[in-house]
């Protein structure tokens, strides 16, 4: 019996070790790829580095894309790109705990952890030696980029080069209204929230039999800010992330308990009493919300364009098929009062808590810096954003870049964007920030080139623009004021710090009270509001506001080079 | 729990009716369990003698004990993290020690009691509903005469188990929707309600909705183990019962149910140990501001303040708390089972 | 063989009117149950075959409104999917066989009433169900053992499922004592008894446990994420599908992270949406494993042979 037992034990052990051995081999081959590249010092020799992006995407080698291949021909460098699938903190936690990093990392909100862990190498000297273009692009922002020890650990993704161009279409927040409402009212130019709600009320009154919803809100899970941000915009401030920075004193104010919030909720409460507000707003999930917008029954809502893209696409397809754009939406710069200047369009924004860093594990940072440097020429930025002339974009006799209809369709296809490399190189590398302009006046980003925007307008779009006497949809909006601290949400807040816990507690409180306030009997509104304010004032608002005020002051000082 | 009591006396009855030889395994346990405790006076020596005698069994255990130590017990050094402000970059001894800070944060949160209430309530509802429905379904399946039909039902009933909670929650939200959701339509049609109910907007309904959803998603899957257990019941018992003129219900009561009891008790004890694990996906996906007072449980709290903030220390502290509670529940449940003379875990 | 012996009470039974009513009600109940449990699957199937942009409207129930293969094309567009499926099958097969065998062995040892370490081993295993050292220590352990980037992380760390051990143990304990005794009288050692007597008798429970293990092996992606995410050749189907899903999510933008909002605000329209991709991947990932069950079902009735052994 013993013999048999031992034989079987042996088999198990062998099986296990075999498995381990098999795996071991895999391990080696896989490990070799980056290592082989790192060692070879000859400039001409091709190398492969590893690149980790804490955003989702398809893993690829850069040289498998059209753009990446060109860059490889120029520099001999290829990157094996890996994208995040699960939770970022966990993944980055394992990097740090094992002190074993990919060569290049583009983190999300874990960036402070990586910097704190000493995962990135300082780039100052390398840039001075090998990165003249990097210096040209980023030098104006050096003060904002430097860590407390004076070193630069990563290159942000939003350094604006040249003149700043606003987007021709509304990409961010706005109050949206169904076009048939505007049509019926004779395309009025409206500005205030009262006027906006007035249009909606009138329309519903005139069409009582259609089962219309006057106003809808998005509140599900991590999209709750679509509800809490609205008052900030109505009060004439851009999206600083749930906080208002005074233009004169630069003092931060959390408006969660202010009159502007109360007023917004009270208006929604009134709508609810009149039966114009969809109560399900507070229980619907994202899919249900999108479905309602797509149904054509909803007359108005506040949201950011990128959150409702799926619905907009659907409505656009339907409109294209029928030639009737009644159910499509138009963005309006709505504010509380006549004398408030709207600030929906983003000012030039330098996001200094995101970027690309080179890790301490990188064996040849010099070549990586050279690669980065090579990305930052005008030609290569055109390549990353516009592609190849006469293939993915065209140039008219005045030297203006544009895209033909086919080119637009092609460059909007996900598969093409991946194979060509737009998807990778448009954003997650050292780059000219959004709104940058080339010396010849063309926009660096194709999306901000008015010619491209115009090409994508449908016939009804054009009529609508004509009715409002504008060339592009963003012309209805006021130009953004200069805010050197913008965006305040890029102020680094340590994970797990009191400030972060405050924002979580605040959000918990709002999630609980806002539905109550909106759905309350109007007579009860003030009582519930006072209860909410009472609860809110128990939180450390002051500490949070002071922190932001202080950081904003620092940012302003840095921006002014002090 | 309710369910367990009536089985008690029934089982003894079944035992009486059973053929003598199969009685063995119900009693065997009780007799032999004392193997470790009733050492002869010679004590230690005798233990090692026994060990030597049973070396075949010992050799069969050792590789796995080794595995257990390496993969389960060794990583427990990680519990020290709960007493630190853990920064992954630092070595374990360079961490900042903060004592019970994270535990205090957890226990002193004003919502802690509510969170615990929700956790326990949802777990308890799921436990009771889960056991009752799975056993009832298993028995009903077993009573189906058409084999083909039985297999088809079985296969289809476990399909929802393979749908992720994200998809399932979306189907549930749609069904509960106040504009055109099937539940509201049905109730309106039956005249039970006058206007649609905002199901997910009323906190009091949340536990019920969750319980029913869990049953819907997992009942088929949960029956599998009972169906397997039924195959171990000696068919001759049924034949004997039939000859004695026992009706269908009596056979279920006296033979099938007692046959499922050992597995049931074992699963029950294990699940009681898991009472603090009420899951977080369905609560997260179906939860909203209006039902937060009922939907927020411990795991969601940890998700918000630990995982999403990258605060490893808080997550581990909460994990330790859960472990302690689990151990207490587990040993208590096991002890009670022992007292009642039932099957037990260890 | 199963067909005749499966339902021992099916033959020669007197059917009372109450029996008939019960049977009818039972069948009606089962049909209702099937409707309720089949629905989510059919709904998912319908969404996966429906045009993604059209699905945004909602209102898809049992049948696609605007039929398309696009979602499946999008998912199968990646060549890596096939390699990943192979790895998934491999880990499911190897992982299930090794794990169930090892669980059964542990279960056998702790089912032996005379075994002196019985209680110690049982408790040592059972306690581990209720604690974990946490992610980071586990990761470091795997790294120290040199298992990062190897196939073995799919097999070894999860080699023994305590739940499964307990379930198997309770079945072994349910075996008639006489059988094991007679084996011992014949001079069989522990291991032979285990291999020759216990394993064959435990087929129904082993089938059950295999199903549990196979499903969790097939569905798991977290170990790939944690240990093997940069080793594409070891990626699994679930992980690749997760990637595709999150990719479609990010092109549509989840909006959690303000900075990424800028990233996609300049990019254009999509042909797929997270919802349709999720439906498609649910189908792609679950159909193969669901098909395993009907094959295992026949083993659930093998316990019937027990009576024969006993007699």
> What burial class does residue A291 get, using C-beta atoms within 10 Å of its C-beta: 0-12 exposed, 13-18 middle, 19+ buried?
buried
Whether the per-residue pLDDT at A502 is higher than 60: the answer is yes
Least confident of A12-26, A292-306, B322-336, C97-111: A12-26
The answer to whether residue C25 is domain-embedded is no
Q: Name the band, by pLDDT with cuts 50, 70 and 90, for residue B14.
A: very low
In this complex, the residue of C151, C187, C250 whose CB is nearest that of residue A57 is C250
Q: To the nearest 10°, report the CA torsion of C137, C142, C145, C150.
A: -170
For the segment C128-157, the average pLDDT, to the nearest whole number, is 92
User: If we measure between CA atoms, which residue out of B221, B234, B257 comes closest to residue C5?
Assistant: B234
Q: Tens digit of pLDDT for each residue in B255-313? A: 999 989 988 999 999 999 999 988 889 999 999 999 999 999 999 999 888 888 878 88
Q: What residues have CB less than 8 Å from A536, skipping those under 6 apart?
A: A256, A257, A506, A509
Give backbone dihedrals phi and psi of C17, rounded to 5 degrees, phi first: -60, -35
Residue of C139, C225, C251 lying closest to A86 (CB–CB) = C225
Q: Which of A109-118, A242-251, A290-299, A465-474 has the lowest mean pLDDT?
A: A109-118
Would an 8 Å CB–CB cutoff place B88 in contact with chain C?
Answer: yes
B28:C290 CB<8 A: no
Count of structural domains, chain C: 1
8 A C-beta contact, residue A23 and residue C231: no
Within 8 A of B292 by CB-CB distance, chain A residues are 508, 511-512
Pairing of strands A104-106, A47-53: parallel
pLDDT score recorded for residue A431: 94
Single out the residue of C6, C27, C41, C35 nearest to residue C290, CA to CA. C41
**Sign (positive/negative) of CA torsion A315, A317, A322, A325?**
positive
Is pLDDT larger for residue A504 or for residue C188? A504
Which domains are present in chain B?
9-81 (no CATH), 104-339 (1.10.3720.10)
Q: Which part of chain A has CATH 3.40.190.10?
A: 6-161+351-384, 173-344+459-559
pLDDT tens profile A202-232: 999 999 988 899 999 999 888 899 999 999 9
Is B129's Cβ below 8 Å from some Cβ in A?
Answer: no
Which residues in chain B are closer than 8 Å to C141, comparing Cβ atoms? 70-71, 74-75
Q: What is the CATH number of domain A6-161+351-384?
A: 3.40.190.10
A235: Cβ contacts below 8 Å, ≥ 6 apart: A244, A255, A260, A335, A336, A340
Predicted confidence (pLDDT) per residue in A421-467, tens digit: 998 998 899 999 988 999 999 999 988 898 888 888 888 999 999 99
Q: State residue A261's pLDDT score.
A: 96
* CATH number for C188: 1.10.3720.10
pLDDT at A481 over 70: yes
Q: Is C201 within the bounds of a domain?
A: yes
Ranges B32-46, B116-130, C296-310: which has the least confidence: B32-46
Give me chain A's average pLDDT, please.
88
pLDDT of residue B45: 60
pLDDT at residue number C251? 58
Is B314 or B341 the better-scoring residue by pLDDT? Answer: B314
The predicted model gives A65-88 an average pLDDT of 93
Residue A10: how many CB atoms within 10 A of its CB? 10
Of the pLDDT bands very low, low, confident and very high (cuts 50, 70, 90), residue B213 is: very high
The answer to whether the peptide bond before residue B287 is cis (omega within 30 degrees of 0) is no
C258, pLDDT greater than 50? no
Q: Is the pLDDT of residue C264 over 60?
A: no
Beta bridge partners of A356: A155
Q: Tell whether the torsion through CA atoms of A95, A96, A97 and A103 is positive or negative.
A: positive
Q: Is B262 on the interface with C (CB under 8 A)?
A: yes
In this prediction, residue A271 carries a pLDDT of 96
pLDDT of residue B5: 36
pLDDT (0 to 100) of residue C13 = 54
At residue A203, φ and ψ (nearest 5 deg) are -65, -45
Neighbour count for residue A404 (Cβ, 10 Å):
12
Contact A505, A539 (CB under 8 A): yes
What's the average model confidence in pLDDT over B153-164?
A: 92
- Is the model more confident about A494 or about A363? A363
| B44: confidence class by pLDDT, cuts 50, 70, 90 | low
Arithmetic mean of pLDDT over chain C: 83
CB pair distance less than 8 Å for A113 and B311: no
Distance, CA of A160 to CA of A139 (rounded, Å): 11
Flag whether pLDDT at B150 surpasses 70: yes
| pLDDT reported for residue C210 | 93
Q: What is the pLDDT of residue C305?
A: 42
Over residues C192-221, mean pLDDT: 90
Smallest Cβ–Cβ distance between C116 and the set B25, B50, B137 belongs to B50
Distance CA B20, CA A559 (A): 90
CA distance A262 to A513: 12
Question: What Cα–Cα distance (Å) separates residue A350 from each residue in A436, A486, A491, C102?
Answer: 12, 7, 11, 57
- Cα–Cα distances in angstroms (integers) from residue B198 to residues A437, B64, B189, B274, C61, in the given order: 51, 53, 17, 32, 21
Residue B21 CB neighbour total at 10 angstroms: 12
3-state secondary structure of A358: strand
Residue A321 pLDDT grade (very low, low, confident, very high; cuts 50, 70, 90): confident
DSSP assignment string, A24-80:
HHHHHHHHHHHHHHHH---SSS-EEEEEEESS----EEGGGSHHHHHHHHHHSEEEE
Taking chain C, what is the end-to-end CA distance rounded to the nearest angstrom? Answer: 19
Chains touching chain A, criterion 3+ CB pairs below 8 Å: B, C
Q: Do C132 and B319 touch (CB under 8 A)?
A: yes
Of how many residues is chain B composed?
346
The residue with greater pLDDT, A460 or B31, is A460
Question: Encoding tokens for residue C204?
Answer: 């129904």
Domain covering A173-344+459-559 assigned CATH 3.40.120.10 in the classification: no
Domain holding C86, by residue range, is 70-311
Which of A93, A113, A504 faces B305 most closely, judged by CB atoms? A504
**pLDDT at C311 exceeding the cut of 60:** no
* Top-confidence residue, B299 or A1: B299
Residue A179 corresponds to which tokens in the numbers above?
Answer: 């076009």
Segment A155-172 shows an average pLDDT of 89
Q: Read off the tokens for B197.
A: 């109910």
DSSP C212: H
Handedness of CA C53, C59, C62, C65 (dihedral sign): negative
Q: Which pairing describes strands A104-106 and A154-155: parallel, antiparallel, or unpaired?
A: unpaired
Which one of A59, A94, A423 has the shortest CB-CB distance to C232? A59
Do the beta carbons of residue A431 and residue A355 sit within 8 Å? no
Tens of pLDDT along C73-125?
888 887 788 899 999 999 999 999 999 999 999 999 999 888 999 999 999 99
- The CA distance from A238 to A345, in Å, is 7
Tokens (6 digits) for A187: 């395309």
The verdict on residue C58 lying in a domain is no
Residue at C47 is within a domain: no
DSSP letters spanning C60-103? --SS-SSB-SHHHHHHHT-THHHHHHHHHHHHHHHHHHHHHHHH
Our CA-based measurement puts residue B60 at a distance from the nearest CA of chain A, in whole angstroms, of 8
pLDDT(A1) > 80: no
* Cβ–Cβ gap C259/A317 under 8 Å: no
A431–C contact, CB cutoff 8 A = no
In sequence order, the β-bridge partners of residue A61 are A80
| Gap from B114 CA to chain C (nearest CA, Å) | 23
CA dihedral angle for residue B322, residue B328, residue B332, residue B335, rounded to 10 degrees: 120
Contact of A11 with chain B, judged by CB distance below 8 Å, is answered with no
Pick from A449, A301, C36, A144: nearest CA to B216: C36
B151 in C contact zone (CB under 8 Å)? yes
CA atoms within 13 A on the CB side of B206: 27
Q: Is the pLDDT of residue A298 over 50?
A: yes
Cα–Cα distance between A324 and A183 in angstroms, integer?
Answer: 12
Please tell me which of the candidates C7, C34, C136 has its beta carbon nearest to residue B156.
C34
In sequence order, the 6+-apart residues with CB closer than 8 A to the CB of B283 are: B122, B210, B295, B296, B297, B299, B300
ipTM of the complex: 0.84
Could you tell me if C154 and B96 are in contact, meaning their C-beta atoms sit under 8 angstroms apart?
no
Residue A85 and residue C225: Cβ atoms within 8 Å? yes
CB B327 within 8 A of CB C127: yes
The reply to whether C41 falls in a domain is no
With an 8 Å Cβ cutoff, are B173 and A285 in contact?
A: yes
The Cα of C78 is separated from the nearest Cα of chain B by a number of Å equal to 22
Residue B226 near residue B261, CB atoms below 8 Å: no
Element (H, E) at A6: helix A2-39
* Mean pLDDT (chain B, rounded): 83
Confirm whether C99 is domain-assigned: yes
The yes-or-no verdict on residue A347 having pLDDT over 90 is no
d(CA A58, CA B115): 39
| Confidence band for A44, pLDDT divided at 50, 70 and 90 | low
Residue A37 has pLDDT above 50, yes or no: no
Band the pLDDT of B249: cuts 50, 70, 90: confident
The rounded distance, in Å, linking the Cα atoms of C304 and B232 is 7
- Mean pLDDT for A60-67 is 94
Write out chain A residues lying below 8 Å of B179, CB-based: 280
pLDDT of A38 > 60? The answer is no
C149 with A94: Cβ contact below 8 A: no
The pLDDT score that the predictor gives to residue A562 is 56
pLDDT band at C255 (very low <50, low <70, confident <90, very high): very low
Which residue of C187, C229, C247 is in closest CB contact with A82? C229
Rounded to a whole number of angstroms, the distance from the CA of C87 to the nearest CA of chain B is: 20
| Cβ count within 10 A of residue A263 | 15
Query: What's the mean pLDDT in B123-149?
Result: 93
pLDDT in tens, A243-291: 999 999 999 999 999 999 999 999 999 999 999 999 999 999 898 999 9
Residue C60 in domain: no
| Interchain CB distance below 8 Å, A20 and C265 | no
Of residues B45 and A167, the one with the higher pLDDT is A167
Asked if residue C147 is part of any domain, the answer here is yes
């Amino acid at each position: 019996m013993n013999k048999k037992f031992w034989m079987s034990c042996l088999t198990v052990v062998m099986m296990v070790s075999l498995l381990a051995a098999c795996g071991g081999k895999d391990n080696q081959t896989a490990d070799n790829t980056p290592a082989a590249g790192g060692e070879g010092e000859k400039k001409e020799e091709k190398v492969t580095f590893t690149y980790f992006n804490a955003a989702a995407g398809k893993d690829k080698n850069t040289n498998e894309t059209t753009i990446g291949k060109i860059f490889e021909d120029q520099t001999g460098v290829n990157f094996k790109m890996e994208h995040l699938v699960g939770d970022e903190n966990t993944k980055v936690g394992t990097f740090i705990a094992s002190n074993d990093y990919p060569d290049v990392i583009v983190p999300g909100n874990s960036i402070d952890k990586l910097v704190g862990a000493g995962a990135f190498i300082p780039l100052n000297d390398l840039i001075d030696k090998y990165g003249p273009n990097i210096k040209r692009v980023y030098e104006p922002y050096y003060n904002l980029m430097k860590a407390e020890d004076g070193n630069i650990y990563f290159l942000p993704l939003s350094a604006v080069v040249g003149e700043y161009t606003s987007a021709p279409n509304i990409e961010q927040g706005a109050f949206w209204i169904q076009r048939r409402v505007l049509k019926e009212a004779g395309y009025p130019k409206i500005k205030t929230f009262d006027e906006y709600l007035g249009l909606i009320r009138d329309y519903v009154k005139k069409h009582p039999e259609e089962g219309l919803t006057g106003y809808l809100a998005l509140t599900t899970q991590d999209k709750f800010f679509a509800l809490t941000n609205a008052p900030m915009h109505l009060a004439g401030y851009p999206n600083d992330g749930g906080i208002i920075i005074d233009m004169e004193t630069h003092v931060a104010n959390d408006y969660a308990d202010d009159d502007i919030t109360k007023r917004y909720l009270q208006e929604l409460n009134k709508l609810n009493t009149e039966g114009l507000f969809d109560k399900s707003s507070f229980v619907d999930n994202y899919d249900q919300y999108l479905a309602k917008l797509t149904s054509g029954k909803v007359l108005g809502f506040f949201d950011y364009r990128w959150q409702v893209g799926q619905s907009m696409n659907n409505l656009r397809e339907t409109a294209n098929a029928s030639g009737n754009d009644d159910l499509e939406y138009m963005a309006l710069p709505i504010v509380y009062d006549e004398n408030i200047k709207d600030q929906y369009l983003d000012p030039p924004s330098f996001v200094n808590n995101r970027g690309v860093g080179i890790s301490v594990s990188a064996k040849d940072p010099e070549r990586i810096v050279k690669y980065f440097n090579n990305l930052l020429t005008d030609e290569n930025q055109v390549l990353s954003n516009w592609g190849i002339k006469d293939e993915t974009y065209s140039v008219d006799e005045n030297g203006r870049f544009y895209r033909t209809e086919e080119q637009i369709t092609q460059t909007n296809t996900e598969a093409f964007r991946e194979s060509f490399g737009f998807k990778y190189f448009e954003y997650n590398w050292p780059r000219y920030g959004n709104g940058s302009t080339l010396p010849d006046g063309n926009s660096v980003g194709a999306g901000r080139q008015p010619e491209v925007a115009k090409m994508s307008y449908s016939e009804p779009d054009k009529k609508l623009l004509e009715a409002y006497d504008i060339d592009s949809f963003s012309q209805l909006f006021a130009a953004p004021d200069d805010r050197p601290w913008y965006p305040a949400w890029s102020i680094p807040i340590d994970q797990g710090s009191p400030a972060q816990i405050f924002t979580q507690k605040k959000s918990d409180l709002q999630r609980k009270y806002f539905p109550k306030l909106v759905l309350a009997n109007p007579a009860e509104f003030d009582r519930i509001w006072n209860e909410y304010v009472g609860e809110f004032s128990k939180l450390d608002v002051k500490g949070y506001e002071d922190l932001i005020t202080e950081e904003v002051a620092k940012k302003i000082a840095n921006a002014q080079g002090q | 729990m309710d369910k367990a009591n009536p089985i008690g006396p029934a089982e003894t009855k079944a035992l009486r009716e059973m053929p003598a030889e199969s009685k063995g395994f119900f009693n065997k346990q009780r007799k032999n369990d004392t193997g470790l405790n009733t050492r002869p006076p010679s004590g230690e020596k005798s233990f090692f003698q026994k060990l030597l005698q049973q070396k075949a069994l010992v050799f069969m255990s050792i590789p796995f004990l080794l595995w257990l130590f390496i993969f389960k017990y060794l990583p427990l050094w990680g519990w020290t993290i709960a007493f630190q402000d853990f920064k992954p970059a630092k070595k374990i001894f360079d961490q900042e020690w903060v004592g019970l800070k994270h535990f205090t944060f957890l226990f002193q949160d004003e919502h802690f009691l509510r969170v615990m209430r929700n956790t326990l309530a949802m777990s308890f509802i799921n436990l009771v509903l889960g056991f009752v429905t799975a056993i009832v379904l298993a028995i009903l399946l077993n009573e189906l005469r058409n084999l083909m039909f039985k297999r088809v039902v079985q296969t289809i009933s476990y399909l929802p188990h393979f749908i992720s909670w994200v998809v399932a929650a979306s189907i549930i939200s749609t069904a509960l929707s106040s504009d055109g959701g099937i539940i509201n339509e049905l109730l309106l049609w039956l005249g039970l309600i006058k206007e649609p109910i905002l199901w997910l907007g009323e906190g009091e309904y949340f536990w019920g909705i969750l319980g029913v959803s869990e049953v819907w998603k997992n009942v088929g899957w949960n029956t599998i183990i009972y169906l397997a257990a039924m195959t171990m019941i000696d068919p001759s018992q049924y034949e004997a019962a039939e000859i004695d003129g026992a009706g269908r219900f009596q056979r279920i009561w006296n033979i099938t149910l007692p046959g499922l009891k050992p597995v049931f008790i074992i699963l029950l004890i294990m699940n009681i140990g898991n009472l603090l694990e009420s899951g977080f996906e369905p609560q997260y996906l179906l939860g909203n501001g209006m039902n937060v007072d009922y939907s927020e449980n411990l795991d969601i709290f940890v998700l918000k303040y630990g995982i999403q903030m990258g605060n490893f220390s808080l997550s581990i502290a909460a994990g330790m708390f859960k472990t302690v509670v689990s151990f207490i529940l587990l040993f208590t449940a096991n002890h009670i089972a022992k007292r009642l003379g039932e099957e037990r875990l260890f | 063989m199963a067909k005749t012996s499966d339902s021992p009470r099916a033959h020669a039974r007197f059917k009372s009117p109450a029996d008939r009513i019960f049977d009818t009600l039972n069948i009606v109940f089962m049909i209702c149950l099937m409707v309720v449990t089949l629905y989510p699957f059919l709904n998912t199937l319908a969404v996966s075959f429906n045009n993604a942009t059209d699905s945004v409207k909602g209102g898809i129930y049992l049948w696609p409104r605007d039929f398309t293969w696009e979602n499946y094309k999008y998912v199968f567009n990646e060549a890596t999917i096939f390699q990943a499926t192979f790895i998934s099958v491999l880990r499911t097969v190897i992982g299930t066989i090794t794990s169930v065998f090892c669980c059964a062995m542990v279960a056998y040892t702790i089912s032996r009433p005379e075994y002196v370490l019985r209680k110690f081993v049982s408790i040592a295993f059972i306690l581990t169900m209720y604690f974990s050292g946490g992610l980071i220590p586990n990761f470091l352990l795997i790294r120290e053992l040199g298992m990062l980037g190897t196939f073995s992380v799919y097999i070894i760390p999860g080699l023994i499922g305590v739940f499964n051990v307990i379930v198997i143990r309770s079945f072994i304990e349910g075996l008639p004592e006489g059988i094991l005794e007679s084996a011992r009288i014949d001079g069989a050692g522990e291991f032979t008894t285990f291999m020759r007597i216990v394993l064959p008798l435990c087929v129904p429970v082993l089938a059950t446990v295999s199903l549990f293990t196979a499903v969790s092996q097939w569905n798991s992606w977290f170990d790939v994420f944690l240990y093997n995410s940069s080793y594409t050749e070891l990626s699994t189907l679930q992980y690749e599908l997760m990637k595709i899903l999150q990719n479609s999510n990010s092109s549509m933008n989840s909006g959690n992270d303000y900075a990424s909002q800028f990233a996609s605000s300049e990019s254009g329209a999509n042909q797929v949406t997270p919802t349709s991709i999720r439906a498609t991947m649910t189908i792609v990932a679950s159909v193969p494993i669901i098909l395993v069950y009907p094959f295992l079902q026949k083993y659930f009735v093998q316990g019937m042979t027990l009576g024969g052994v006993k007699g």
